[in-house]
């Protein structure tokens, strides 16, 4: 794993840092600063505050935005009526059942804690004692729940709510200080090393679920800074210093529904339909930009943030009020780098430009950490105007037949199958696995494939270290990435599978795969998840989705067998069907399968994919030549050669000629 090249010396030691902690203020409000700070923000951010007032006084909203809006306006204007309304809503939770396990008890605690702090003078003594009791019982009921720090629960479901409640009740609930110290210890010894390991470079191995937990955890980090001066970002700098930039690259080009940007699909979660997670992603970038405001890269992120200045969900106005700081300096997107690598999860993101109609590319070649990951090493996405090569299946629910037999399996991703007819899979996510898709292995002792923490991961790293990004370089006119996907598959069927991709800007991708199976009769299948059914031309396949189009030229293998799995056949393989239980939004409608016509130990797959506007009917044909030790392809003014015996090659494009990189030449 590339991450361990720079992180192998963690040894679970944390960065040395001075403790700048100060006593928690005794006065309320304190979580978001004193009343004077909030009033000053109301003056400086009058437009956003006006929308918060409207939500608090007039609009219908869910409990979370309603209670936070009520509490903010109450604190700023010292409005007793609003304060009592917020307290009454909080008491519904205080007097309700104690929730525990994989439920959002952390969010319950957080919203009640905000009301407790910001509306403190309007709580009766009995109500305060009842809140303390509710908080303590919730903490006790969840000691053993959501303990896996690679998993969203630790940050989102659990500790942010417990942390806010502890700061809110610090001098009144005698247990609050000790609970905070335990949170601090857990974060320093378990969570921060996990962020450094699986989050190096700002990406996160759990994929899309970062959009569900990061905002809450950053909210807590900001509260800790206000209340005690603790810098939790400094304890995991490899993640936090790059997270805003990685988050910027994790949004597809273009402004979409209600002025939002759609995050790319990675693992579970999807984000295919509009939802509040887009505002979570925006607010997370804002918080980090505010903190690292003097860093030029974060000033570029601020410029992108300001292209969507308002939260897309109207009742989330409080997020704009709290986190949109227009005093941060802007720096132009023009000239900023067009790619980013997150070595921890093994992610590469790239664009053709920072224009809203840019071509976008994402590649995944990383290790195993947690349950929401898929068996998708080597998978890639391509987007132009809309998704062209996407992420297959539907997250209809965790552990359903569709989920464990299709959605999370290799067959639902744009990578490689190697079919051993005798291979079988254990249960995944406590779901029964019936299908032999020929994909990647699921050999982890926990049924979810989750690891408790970074020290446990390192103890069994031979089990979880399943992929390497071997090389990465971006020279402007092209981006090159190479990955070793071999260990993601069972050793009994696969000798090696390496993938090399060259993104010839602005729109062309050359994908070269070397695959050697243990037996020639183990059928190899190259996959592409097409967002729409392709149309065959005399020379290639064409996928059109909205205003975008993808031209797919298969150069190798020679005389390929091409199968298009569409309609009912899309979710069928190995003699069974695994249709989704519900539709979660636009998903690939066709699985393009390319296989050799003759069995062999070693096969080479060479594809040229060109993204264009939907008005473009043809692209220049690529020309390939196969020699003993190399395979050469000419695409437009570029000439590429790939080695057949090892990962490597040569490129000539424009005035540049030279070898393809053999290492990662730039890591943030």
337 pLDDT more than 60: yes
Q: CATH number of the domain at 342-618, out of 2.40.50.140, 3.40.640.10, 2.70.98.70, 3.40.50.10420? A: 2.70.98.70
3-state helix, strand, coil in the chain (%, to 5): 35, 20, 45
424 pLDDT more than 80: yes
Q: What's the rounded Cα separation, in Å, for the pair 541 and 228? A: 60
Domain positions in the chain are: 33-323, 342-618
390 pLDDT more than 50: yes
pLDDT of residue 445: 81
Q: Which residue has the higher pLDDT, 17 or 505?
A: 505
Q: What's the rounded Cα separation, in Å, for the pair 416 and 427? A: 22
Give the rounded percent of residues in the chain with a pLDDT score beyond 70.
97
User: Among residues 254, 261, 156, 142, which one has the least CA distance to residue 206?
Assistant: 156
pLDDT of residue 18: 45
Pick the range with the lowest mean pLDDT from 4-8, 195-199, 421-425, 614-618. Answer: 4-8
375 pLDDT more than 50: yes
668 pLDDT more than 80: no
389 pLDDT more than 60: yes
Environment class of residue 615 by beta-carbon count within 10 Å: exposed (0-12), middle (13-18) or buried (19+)?
exposed
Q: What's the rounded Cα separation, in Å, for the pair 273 and 271? A: 5
pLDDT of residue 2: 52
pLDDT tens across 610-654, in order? Answer: 999 999 999 999 999 999 899 999 999 999 999 999 999 999 999
Indicate the Cα dihedral angle 52, 58, 59, 62, nearest 10°: 80
**What is the mean pLDDT of the segment spanning 407-436?**
96
Helices 80-94 and 125-141 sit at what angle, rounded to 10 degrees?
A: 40
Pick the range with the lowest mean pLDDT from 5-19, 277-291, 561-575. Answer: 5-19
pLDDT of residue 270: 81
pLDDT of residue 449: 82
280 pLDDT more than 50: yes
**What is the mean pLDDT of the segment spanning 236-247?**
98
Q: What's the rounded Cα separation, in Å, for the pair 511 and 502? A: 7
Residues 6 or more apart whose Cβ sits within 8 Å of residue 159: 106, 183, 186, 187, 217, 220
Give the rounded percent of residues in the chain with a pLDDT score beyond 90.
94
**What is the mean pLDDT of the segment spanning 357-369?**
98
192 pLDDT more than 80: yes
- Report yes or no: 111 and 62 within 8 Å, Cβ to Cβ: no
- In this prediction, residue 9 has a pLDDT band, given cuts at 50, 70 and 90, of very low
**What is the mean pLDDT of the segment spanning 385-407?**
97
pLDDT tens across 201-235, in order? Answer: 999 999 999 999 999 999 999 999 999 999 999 99
- Report yes or no: 664 and 471 within 8 Å, Cβ to Cβ: yes
- In this prediction, residue 35 has a pLDDT band, given cuts at 50, 70 and 90, of very high
pLDDT of residue 20: 79
User: Among residues 132, 47, 29, which one has the least CA distance to residue 310?
Assistant: 47
pLDDT tens across 538-593, in order? Answer: 999 999 999 999 999 999 999 999 999 999 999 999 999 999 999 999 999 999 99
- In this prediction, residue 667 has a pLDDT band, given cuts at 50, 70 and 90, of low
3 pLDDT more than 80: no
pLDDT of residue 666: 74
Q: What's the rounded Cα separation, in Å, for the pair 365 and 1? A: 9
Q: What's the rounded Cα separation, in Å, for the pair 18 and 2? A: 30
pLDDT of residue 451: 92
The residue written with tokens 């390497």 in the block is: 468
pLDDT of residue 19: 61
Residue 295 CB neighbour total at 10 angstroms = 16
Pick the range with the lowest mean pLDDT from 276-290, 446-460, 506-520. Answer: 446-460
Dihedral angle sign, alpha carbons of residues 246, 6, 450, 375:
positive
User: Among residues 110, 115, 108, 198, which one has the least CA distance to residue 152?
Assistant: 198
Compute the radius of gyration of the chain from its Cα atoms.
Answer: 26
pLDDT tens across 121-148, in order? Answer: 999 999 999 999 999 999 999 999 999 9
pLDDT tens across 306-330, in order? Answer: 999 999 999 999 999 999 999 999 9
What's the topology of domain 33-323?
A: Glycosyltransferase (1.50.10)
409 pLDDT more than 70: yes
10 pLDDT more than 70: no
17 pLDDT more than 70: no
pLDDT tens across 143-172, in order? Answer: 999 999 999 889 999 999 999 999 999 999
């Amino acid at each position: 794993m590339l991450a361990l090249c720079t992180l192998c010396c963690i040894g679970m030691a944390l960065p040395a840092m001075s403790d700048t902690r100060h006593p928690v203020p005794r006065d309320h409000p304190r979580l978001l600063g004193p009343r004077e700070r909030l009033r000053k923000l109301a003056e400086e951010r009058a437009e956003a505050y006006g929308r918060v007032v409207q939500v608090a006084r007039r609009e219908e909203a869910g409990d979370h935005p309603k209670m936070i809006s009520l509490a903010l306006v109450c604190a700023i204007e010292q409005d007793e009526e609003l304060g009592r309304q917020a307290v009454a809503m909080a008491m519904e939770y205080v007097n309700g059942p104690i929730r525990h396990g994989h439920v959002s008890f952390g969010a319950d605690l957080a919203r009640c804690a905000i009301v407790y702090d910001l509306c403190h003078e309007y709580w009766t003594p009995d109500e305060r004692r009842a809140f303390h009791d509710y908080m303590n019982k919730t903490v006790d009921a969840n000691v053993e729940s959501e303990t896996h720090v690679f998993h969203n629960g630790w940050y989102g479901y659990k500790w942010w709510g417990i942390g806010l409640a502890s700061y809110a009740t610090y001098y009144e609930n005698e247990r609050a200080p000790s609970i905070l110290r335990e949170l601090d210890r857990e974060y320093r010894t378990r969570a921060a090393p996990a962020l450094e390991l699986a989050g190096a470079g700002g990406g996160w191995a759990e994929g899309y679920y970062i959009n569900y937990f990061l905002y809450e955890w950053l909210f807590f980090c900001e509260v800790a800074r206000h209340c005690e001066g603790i810098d939790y970002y400094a304890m995991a700098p490899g993640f936090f210093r790059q997270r805003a930039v990685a988050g910027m690259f994790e949004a597809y080009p273009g402004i979409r529904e209600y002025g939002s940007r759609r995050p790319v699909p990675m693992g579970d979660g999807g984000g295919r339909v509009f939802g509040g997670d887009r505002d979570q992603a925006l607010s997370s970038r804002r918080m980090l930009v505010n903190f690292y405001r003097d860093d030029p890269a974060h000033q570029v992120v601020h410029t992108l943030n300001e292209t969507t200045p308002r939260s897309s969900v109207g009742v989330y106005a409080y997020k704009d009020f709290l986190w949109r700081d227009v005093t941060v300096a802007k720096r132009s997107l023009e000239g900023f780098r067009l790619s980013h690598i997150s070595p921890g999860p093994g992610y590469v993101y790239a664009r053709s430009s920072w224009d809203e109609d840019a071509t976008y590319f994402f590649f995944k070649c990383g290790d195993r950490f947690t349950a929401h990951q898929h068996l998708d090493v080597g998978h890639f996405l391509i987007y132009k105007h809309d998704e062209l090569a996407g992420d297959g299946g539907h997250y209809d629910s965790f552990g359903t037949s569709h989920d464990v037999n299709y959605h999370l399996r290799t067959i639902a991703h744009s990578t490689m199958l190697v079919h051993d007819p005798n291979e079988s899979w254990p249960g995944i996510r406590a779901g029964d696995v019936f299908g032999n898709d020929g994909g990647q292995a699921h050999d982890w002792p926990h049924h979810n494939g989750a690891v408790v923490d970074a020290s446990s991961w390192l103890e069994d790293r031979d089990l979880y270290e399943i992929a390497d990004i071997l090389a990465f370089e971006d020279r402007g006119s092209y981006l090159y990435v190479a990955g070793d996907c071999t260990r993601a598959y069972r050793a009994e069927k696969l000798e090696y599978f390496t993938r090399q991709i060259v993104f010839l800007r602005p729109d062309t991708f050359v994908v070269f795969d070397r695959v050697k199976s243990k037996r020639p009769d183990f059928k190899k299948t190259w996959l592409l998840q097409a967002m729409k059914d392709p149309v065959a031309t005399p020379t290639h396949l064409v996928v059109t989705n909205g205003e975008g189009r993808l031209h797919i030229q298969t150069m190798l293998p020679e005389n390929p067998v091409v199968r298009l799995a569409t309609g009912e056949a899309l979710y069928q393989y190995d003699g069974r069907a695994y249709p989704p239980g519900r539709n979660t939004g636009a998903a690939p409608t066709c699985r393009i399968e390319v296989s050799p016509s003759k069995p062999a130990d070693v096969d080479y797959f060479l594809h040229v994919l060109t993204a264009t506007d939907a008005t473009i009917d043809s692209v220049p044909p690529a020309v390939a030549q196969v020699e003993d030790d190399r395979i050469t392809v000419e695409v437009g003014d570029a000439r590429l050669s790939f080695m057949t015996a090892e990962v490597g090659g040569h490129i000539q494009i424009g005035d540049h000629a030279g070898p393809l990189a053999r290492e990662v030449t730039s890591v943030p």
